[in-house]
Structure 1
Amino acid sequence: MKKLLGLLVLLLVILAVTLWIRSETVFEDNQLQIKQSKQELPLDTDAAVARFAKGIQIKTISHDDPAQFNPQPFIEFRQHIKQSYPLVHQASQQKTFSEHSLLYYFPGTDNSLKPALFMGHMDVVPVDDATLDKWQQPPFSGAVVDDIIWGRGTIDDKVTVFALLESIELLLQQNKPFKRGIYLAFGHDEEIGGSQGAVKVAEYLQQQGVEFEFVLDEGGAITDGIMPGIEQPVAIVGVAEKGFVNLRLTVNSEGGHSSQPPEHTALGILSEAIVKVENAQFDTDLTFSKMTFDAVATHAPLSSRLPMANLWLLEPVVSNVMLKTPSSAASIRTTIAATMASGSSKSNILPSQASAVINFRILPGDSIESVKQHVISAIDDERVLISDFMGINPSGVSPTDSVGFKLIEKHIRQLDNDVLVAPYLVVGGTDSRYFTSLSDNVYRFMMVRLNPEGLTRFHGINEQLPVQDYLNAISFFHAMLQETSGIEMPQSSH
């Protein structure tokens, strides 16, 4: 027995040493080594901030109900940017889609170079009347108080629209032709799916036979204090995006008076089906979590490195830990969210039809069809009819060794080489999903800094942006546009 215990202890020691050695040797520092060199721009910063603030004041709100759409703010917004950026409008070819989404094209002199596309969106989500008194500054004031710009759209996503326009206006002042063509696309309905904006733009560009070297849209950001154990800020750049689909579950019955109910009403059958789906969670996949972690692993504590370096043994443990938090759970599996349900119109009437909607955010590797089959198998009840509406499959995965990713990485680190850069999976939806057929290199990043508190301001109360963050966004896009347009191609080494 003593020999057996001794052997067991020896094996445990060997295992512990193996796990530790792997945690110290598996990962390499993959961060781009570059000197910080923020470019001083000939920019009137007060005027630039004022132009941005005025754009925040214009209530370009997207509503789920089309009857609530007000076109006038979008007309005003378009007039504002036309007046504010005259060189942009003089130098570009412009096209409007569904009256409000905008596309600008700045031709390049070298037709052998594929153009690049930079994207943003002009619309914002509404502000709930019930939360108005909780805003420290009115949500459409564009107020600048203590070097902070306040209002809906300061983060999501007018910051990108105005930073791009300021940047390219500055470039045009140099009166130098672009070698590579540049497109800017600004959607007017991203917050409600982009069907009349980005979809139409993408269809038009595809008809024109346009292929992009890379596409850059919103998505990631510079996160601070969000990645456990890593003290440095981490810029997460989306290299893929989850898809989504809505499945409607419908149960029909004869109905009647509630005083003579069957054993299970249509609503009861439907409720059981929903529970079955929620209990049939999708398998986990750590591919994207590992991709993100690999990029920053050498800066992470041993407590994080050890399990991630030894997924061959500890993957179930890591998955279980990540599943305990909704945000991390969403990054490792297709999610299930029952969001809508209806039955009869009166409490004493048996429903002749009950229906519910379940929203799925689809991890790359799954598809709309595989999700539907998963649900059919989980419910296993012919009384429940299942149909899908709205949806798009997950995007492909863009490489991290392309010109586009290297440019993004380079100019993030040039602004601040304390910021680490890592690829990640975008769990929400962006307009870029419609452009994946136009380029293999689609990335999602916006130059803003977000801490845990800042994350809550997306679509929330007290959306705000420090003035310095806005100026950094202009510097970032100016450097990106300058190099992308062909003045200098990226030279990088890891």
Structure 2
Amino acid sequence: MDLLKTLEDLYSQQHFKSWAIESLSGAVRIPTESFDDMEKPGKDERWDIFADLHVYLEARFPLVFTSLAVKKVNTYGLVLYWQGSDPSLKPLMLTGHQDVVPVPDGAADLWKHPPYSGHYDGTYIWGRGSVDDKSTTISTLTTVETLLKHEFQPKRSVILAFGIDEESGGLQGAGAIAKYLLNTYGADSMAIIVDEGGGYMDYNNITLAAPMTAEKGRVDVLIEVTTLGGHSSMPPPHTGIGYLSKLISALEDNPFPVELVPGAALQAVQCLAAYDEALPKAYRELAAKAATDARAREQMKQILLGQPGMHDLFAARMGTTQAVDISQGGAKVNALPERSMAIVDHRIADWSSVAAVYEHYIDVLAPVTARFNLTLDAFGLLPNDTRPSAGYVRLAPTFHAPLEPAPIPPTFGAPAWDVLAGTIRATLSSSQRADSLSTKTPYVGPDVMMGNTDTQYYWNLTSNIYRYSHMGYLDLYNGAHTINEAIKAEGFLEMIRFHSRLILNADEAGAL
């Protein structure tokens, strides 16, 4: 506790704040963009900028890179191992990623401050990566550097792992890191993994923090229509693009089911209802009843979907989504298209599966292809149809390998969850920032990660995987992946306080 008090005193001093803020600003200035079409490191010069980031990190955090064992995986992936004094304790693993989404051509002029300026205006730190995810990475490194300066020696080993392509699937970064860790330490070798993810927010008289325990699956589906083509002066009733539009319309007219089932989404609703006394009494009672009553869950679902302006948000939290993001067709104005295609992105509900997505496609699109005499090849699941037809429709996964929803970690009463939740509560209740949250009672409950993180590669390392950044939602100027991405400096400093307490608390927790 003496060390914790020393750290808290240090973190309140202006010289530390300035150093920490500049650490994040400097990292933001290095545009480590990752692209979907990048080849492996060593075969694509767009990776070279990551070497500049490594030089910066090594200079900014000298104790980290000289005191910890440093392993570079697949050239730019970083694994840093801090040896603990008690080998019987499984390591604490903290993860993040070095890459950022690209700034589109022409978009820089729309920013208040240049996207790679790392500008600090006295309130916000501006730039791509300030939110996602250099704030997490720099917070973790700042914490370890500070603990080393104070000669802290952990009993429990600590592993830091920073991927390089989370924004484009994670295969080259976390995918390679996971293989290295499994080969080095084995399966189920980590006590707990904490990656980027949830944060905290005020609700009336409480502060609610939400580690993401569930993570949705993903599959991108190619819909390809092939026809004979021909001259536009003699068109059939439907061109390939016309057929494609019918298929897309059928999908959008028949969305995936939305269900509020026992799990993280329901727990998030129940946690808020249990502690926010400003909510109507009938709503709070219904939420409590929904834990064991299917009819109450259905009523709760309808209430959530019926909230003004919130239907799409709650539908996405409770069901599998579909978004037609890419379409192509035709090459010339007087030539009928021979190949037309669309790609549909799906984020799969934590209670569903990849197979259920495929089944939905067949159920919805098979009647359409039959109506227009089109041959359907649906993921290789249907018998070959050799009859003459007006065209050929192929459905297949594309871009990334299909990903099932993540395994759900243990929560209330489980040692790993209790350490994480206790750390979150202690950090929030002891905050000393000017707009302190410490006047409000903090509560911690599970929630659903809508997108995918690098944790998809770490499932075999531990069952205790939680996605939590300790980022205040009101500390974000716009959010992640946006024009004017920025984070309040005070919010970033709270992340350092959280990571410091997490390392210290995990060190004292014994078996996890």
TM-score range relative to shorter protein:
0.7 to 0.9
The residue number in structure 2 matching 1:408 is 420
- Structure 2 distance, partners of 1:232, 1:320, is 25
State whether structure 2 residue 497 is matched by structure 1 residue 475.
yes
1:420 CA drift (Å): 2.3
Seen in structure 2, the aligned counterparts of structure 1 residues 69 and 308 have a Cα distance that, compared at 3 Å, is farther
- 1:69: how far off? 5.7
SS of equivalent to 1:196: helix
Q: CA 1:319 to 1:163, structure 2 compared with 1: closer, same or farther past 3 Å?
A: same
Contact 2:477 2:486 survives alignment (8 Å): no
SS in 1 for 2:210: strand
1:45 matches 2:17: yes
Aligned to 2:456: 433
The answer to which of 316-325 and 418-427 deviates more is 316-325
Q: How many residues align?
A: 450
Structure 1 regions of 5+ residues with no counterpart? 1-35
Question: Is the CA contact (8 Å cut-off) linking 1:171 and 1:482 kept in structure 2?
Answer: no
TM-aligned CA deviation for residue 120 of structure 1: 0.8
TM-score by length of 1: 0.85
Q: 1:45 to 1:489 in 2, by over 3 A?
A: farther
- How far, CA to CA, are the matches of 2:25 and 2:344 in structure 1? 39
Q: Does the aligned pair in 1 maintain the 2:260–2:301 contact within 8 Å?
A: yes
- What is the Cα deviation at residue 102 of structure 1? 0.6
Comparing 309-318 with 251-260, which one deviates more in the overlay? 309-318
| Aligned equivalent of 1:308 | 287
User: 2:137 maps to which residue?
Assistant: 161
1:186 to 137, 140, 162: 162
What is the correspondence of 1:410-425 to structure 2 with a 5 Å cutoff?
A: 410-417=422-429, 418=440, 419-425=442-448
8 Å contact from structure 2 (residues 89, 510) kept in 1: no
> Could you tell me the percent identity over the aligned residues?
30
**Which TM-score applies when normalising by structure 2?**
0.82
- Aligned mates of 1:329, 1:38 — CA distance in 2: 46
Q: Does 1:244 align with 2:218?
A: yes
Separation in 2 of the partners of 1:455 and 1:239?
A: 25
Match of 1:396, as an amino acid?
A: P
Shift of the 310–410 alpha-carbon distance from structure 1 to 2, 3 Å rule, reads closer
Instruction: Verify the 8 A CA contact 2:118 2:126 in the aligned structure 1.
Output: yes
Find the aligned partners of 2:482 and 2:201 in 1 and give their Cα distance.
Answer: 18
Given candidates 356, 364, 369, the residue that maps to 2:342 is 356
Counterpart of 2:19, as a letter, is A
The whole-number CA distance in structure 1 between the counterparts of 2:138 and 2:326 is 37
Aligned to 2:396: 387
Structure 1 residue identity aligned to 2:471: V
Deviation larger for 291-300 or 317-326: 317-326
Q: 2:110 aligns with which of 134, 157, 160?
A: 134
1:395/1:433 contact within 8 Å kept: yes
Aligned residue for 1:20? none
- 1:46 maps to amino acid: S
Residue 220 of structure 2 is aligned to residue 220 of structure 1: no
Runs of 4+ in 1 over 4 A off after TM superposition: 36-39, 488-491
Is the contact between residue 220 and residue 445 of structure 1 (CA under 8 Å) also seen in structure 2? yes
- Asked if 1:87 corresponds to 2:63, the answer is yes
- CA distance in structure 2 between the partners assigned to 1:224 and 1:129 by the alignment: 36
Deviation readout 1:193-252 (Å, 9 max, x if unpaired): 111000110112122215211110001011245xxxx44332111001001001111222
Q: Are the structure 2 counterparts of residues 412 and 39 from structure 1 closer, same or farther at C-alpha, using a change threshold of 3 Å?
A: farther
- In the TM superposition, residue 460 of structure 1 has moved relative to its aligned partner by 0.8
Q: Give the direction of change, closer, same or farther, for the CA distance of 1:108–1:272 in structure 2 (3 Å limit).
A: same
In the other structure, the counterpart of 1:446 is 469
Whole-angstrom distance in 2 between the partners of 1:248 and 1:443 = 32
d(CA) in 2 for partners of 1:78, 1:160 = 16
Change over 3 Å in CA distance of 1:39–1:218 after alignment to 2: same
Which amino acid in structure 2 is aligned with residue 40 of structure 1?
Answer: E
Please state how far the C-alpha of 1:490 moved relative to its aligned partner. 9.6
Q: Structure 1, residues 261-300: CA drift from partner, whole Å, max 9, x if none? A: 2222222222212222222222222133221122232323
